[in-house]
Amino acid sequence: MVNGSRDETTDEREWETPPISFVNGANVTAADGDALREMDWPACWECAADLLDWNRPFDAVLDDDGVTRWFPGGRLNASYNCLDRHVRDGRGDEAAVTWEGKLGESRTYTYRQLLDEVNSFAAALRDLGVGEDDVVTLYMPMVPELPIAMLACARIGAPHSVVFAGFSADALATRLTGADSEYLITCDGYYRRGTALYLKGKADNACLSVGQEVEQIVVNRLADGDSVGDHHSYEKLVRDHAGAEVAPVERGSDDLLFLIYTSGTTGKPTLVGHTTGGYLAHVTWTSRAVFDLDPEDTHWCSADVGWITGHSYAVYGPLACGATTILYEGTPDHPEKNRLWEVIERNEVDVFYTAPTSVRSFMKWGSKYPAQHDLSSLRLLGTVGEPIDETAWHWYREHVGGGECPIVDTWWQTETGGVVLSTLPGADRMRPGAVGRELPGIEAAVVDEMGKRVAIGESGRLVLTQPWPGMARSLCTETDWGARRTGTVDGEWQYDTGDNAIRDADGYFHLLGRADDVLNVSGRRLSTAEIESAIVGADGVSEAAVVGGTDTVTGSKVHAFVSPESNVAGDEALRKRVRSAVESAIGPIAVPETVTFTPSLPKTRSGKVVRRYLKAITNGEDLGDTSALRNPEVVGELESLLDE
Ligand code: PRX
């Protein structure tokens, strides 16, 4: 349990209100918000499902016969909902995806063009033998072919599994095997800060180590022409299937739309599955209600499509709403620190959604960069991934949002599929530093170790107490109950989110970070166990523990404590081996910032490593009582080591 409490009284100065112009035109006004919150929670979600086109209507909102299924009996296709219906409604010439490349180039696909290319690629996939329910892995950077491939898979009922392009060959191999995927779509390479990075070499190595035949399709980004060795060229496949029309496959509401890996508390990444009907209804409704998206809006979610945020709010949500989504391949400070603001100005972006870690970087670079651009098209700002402190919140509103834009601080996870805690921007007041209440249709609570509710203002574990449509399918299959942290407390269903939080007297949640062994590094989720098992794999390492350090700009960073084998020196050479072991097992994002050598790690009498002390040492916090440790002296030694 985390210590902490929050005063029950509400200070009026802590509140911020959205401008009246926004409130009047919002998709969900205060009156709508009240009406939704008074509704039965399943009725709320029926409104969400009504935003979709169903081939066969659902028989009920929820079937909870031991296994939770949303919209049972309903049949639909996600690619139809994201593309065909907008073209059918006469909006084929409107922009669907605008891609901003790393070299400054830009490409826009209208809904009709996107549908055409998705059709061609879907036909090509079929010809290659991809059938319904075959998993297709997509290992691609932020290029338009990534959402095109996702939608082509969705069109033929083949679940996709997108693997972040920054992951290593080993990490890709684990994910190919875990998802039992025989098809891989990748890219020859991409640019980062003007430098070409080769992806295909990593993909080839992963395929070699998987030991099974993997059919590869390669998008040419760096090289011209169709020369992709023994593999299929994406460009050639699309050209050869130009003009093809593939009828969207009707999927059951509970059929898989995609698989995605996330970091859990074990050494292996956790595979999460999202459904076609429940997930799509959830992200479509939240795109309308939380991001206030309309078809005429341009939405920019800056997250990489390799993570859940990009799936839900750069691809499926905005496209299902018929809006324009921006796909940005670059980094925020290349070639200049004004790059994002220039993209917003040029594309007249309405809604900008990013991570607090980015806001803190913008703040550090200074307000002169956004000030060089006309950002008046922005109506709404959003954040996700970690708590945003009040200073960053106010800076974001003032210097990006012109002092006017409402900000939605949205809390959710890979497992929830879409936003579950947030203010409704047209209905609720904002409290900087707090995420807001549950969205209509969501029930959440803060509980103690026994699952009992704690008092208002007291900290505890954040749980969701009713199912929601975007919930990962694996959360509700009986076999997964233990592992997936769902269960019943006094007859009440609870999903343990793994986060600590405080609920204040107004019902707003204040997030306090992860309670389990999951690190949040620059808004990306990593598991301590996964990094530790990579480190222990390095030659000469006996034991390792990693913790997150709080950095004012990047948020958490990885810090490793390593105990070398006897006779092995804890020197620069070992430090290098440790870092490269992590880089090759996971990727550069997980490489420890510091590696501290120690003869032993702090342990309980039963031999369990206690990371809490290592975390306190790293972050200069009070250690508290160490007497329960088997080797309390090691903590003191480590403290003095870090002081050096
Ligand atoms: O700890 C919470 C943090 O990010 C975790 C989920 O990470 P992931 O599954 O990678 O999904 C990231 C994007 C949805 C949560 O358990 N988190 C997410 N949003 C917030 C947050 N912490 C505080 N405030 C938020 N708004």
pLDDT per residue over 583-628, tens digit each?
Answer: 999 999 899 999 999 988 888 777 778 888 888 888 888 878 887 7
Instruction: Give the SS3 label for residue 252.
Output: strand
Q: Which of 185, 214, 249 is the last residue of a domain?
A: 249
Domain that holds residue 237: 109-249
Q: Of 224 and 135, which is predicted with more confidence?
A: 135
Residue 507 has pLDDT above 70, yes or no: yes
Q: Is the CB of 525 under 6 A from ligand 1?
A: yes
Check pLDDT > 90 for residue 17: yes
Contacts of 572 (CB under 8 A, 6+ apart): none
Tens-digit pLDDT profile for residues 42-79: 899 999 999 999 999 999 999 877 678 999 999 999 99
In DSSP terms, 325 is beta-bridged to: 97, 299
Average pLDDT of span 557-569: 91
Name the percent of the chain lying above pLDDT 70.
94
Report residue 585 CA to chain centroid gap. 21
Predicted local confidence at residue 481, as pLDDT: 35
193: its two tokens: 């800060």
Last residue of a domain, one of 221, 249, 277: 249
Boundary of a domain, candidates 191, 219, 249: 249
Which CATH number belongs to the domain containing residue 539 in this structure? 3.30.300.30
Compute the C-alpha angle 15/20/22, nearest 5°: 95
Regarding predicted confidence, which is higher, 268 or 26? 26
Burial 231-267 (b: 16+ CB within 10 A, else e): bbbbbbbbeebeebebebbbbbbbbbbbbbbbbbbee
Tell me whether the omega of the peptide bond preceding residue 467 falls within 30 degrees of 0, making it cis: no
Reported confidence tier of residue 11, pLDDT bands at 50, 70, 90: low
Radius of gyration over every alpha carbon of the chain, rounded to an integer in angstroms: 24
pLDDT of residue 98: 98
* Least-confidence region, from 223-227, 268-272, 623-627: 223-227
Whether 301 is in a domain gets the answer: no
Q: Is the pLDDT of residue 455 over 60?
A: yes
pLDDT tens digit string along 300-329? 999 999 999 999 999 999 999 999 999 999
Going by pLDDT thresholds of 50, 70 and 90, the confidence category of residue 222 is confident
Report d(CA 132, CA 107) in Å as an integer: 31
pLDDT for residue 206 is more than 70: yes
Q: What are the distances in angstroms from CA 207 to CA 332, 419, 636? A: 32, 35, 46
C-alpha 251 – ligand 1 centre gap (Å):
29
Q: In the numeric block, which tokens belong to residue 32? A: 């709508």
Average model confidence (pLDDT) across the chain = 90
* Atom 21, ligand 1: residue with shortest CA distance: 386
- 512 within 8 A of 3, measured Cβ to Cβ: no
Q: Residue 197 maps to which CATH number?
A: 3.40.50.980
Q: Which of 132-146, 184-198, 349-363, 617-631 has the lowest mean pLDDT?
A: 617-631
- Burial of 271-302, coded b for 16+ CB within 10 Å and e otherwise, reads bbbbbbbbbbbbbbbbbbbbbbbeeebbbbbb
The pLDDT value recorded for residue 8 is 47
The predicted structure's pLDDT at residue 407: 98
pLDDT of residue 626: 81
Give the mutation target among 162, 411, 446 for probing the ligand 1 site: most ligand atoms within 8 A of CB.
411
Q: 449 lies in a domain?
A: no
Whether residue 226 is predicted with pLDDT greater than 70 in this model: the reply is: no
**Does some domain include residue 242?**
yes
Instruction: Please tell me the predicted confidence (pLDDT) of residue 170.
Output: 93
Q: Please state the rounded mean pLDDT for residues 339-363.
A: 95
Checking if the pLDDT of 476 tops 90, the result is: no
377 occurs within a structural domain: no
Q: Please say if the pLDDT value at position 374 is more than 90.
A: yes
Beta carbon of 84 within 6 Å of any ligand 1 atom: no
Does residue 621 sit within a domain? yes
Tokens representing 619 are 């972050």
Give the model's pLDDT for residue 212: 75
* Ligand 1 centroid from CA 406, angstroms: 20
Phi, psi of 483 (to 5 degrees): -65, -30
Phi and psi dihedrals of 179, rounded to 5? -95, 0
- Tell me what pLDDT residue 625 has: 80
CA of 264 to the centre of ligand 1 (A): 13
pLDDT digits (tens, 9 = 90+) for 110-134: 999 999 999 999 999 999 999 999 9
Distance 348 CA to ligand 1 centre (A): 28
Tokens 């479509």 map to which residue? Answer: 284
Position 193 scores a pLDDT of 74
Domain count, the chain: 2
In degrees, rounded to 5, the angle at the alpha carbon of residue 321 between the alpha carbons of residues 317 and 324 is 85
- Nearest alpha carbon to residue 444 among 485, 502, 388: 502
The answer to whether residue 367 is domain-embedded is no
**Residue 95 domain flag:** no
* Rounded mean pLDDT, 411-422: 96
Rounded to whole angstroms, the Cα distance separating 151 from 261 reads: 19
Looking at the domain assignment, is residue 624 inside a domain?
yes
Buried b (16+ CB within 10 A) or exposed e, 419-441: bbbbbbbbbbebbbbbbbbbbbb
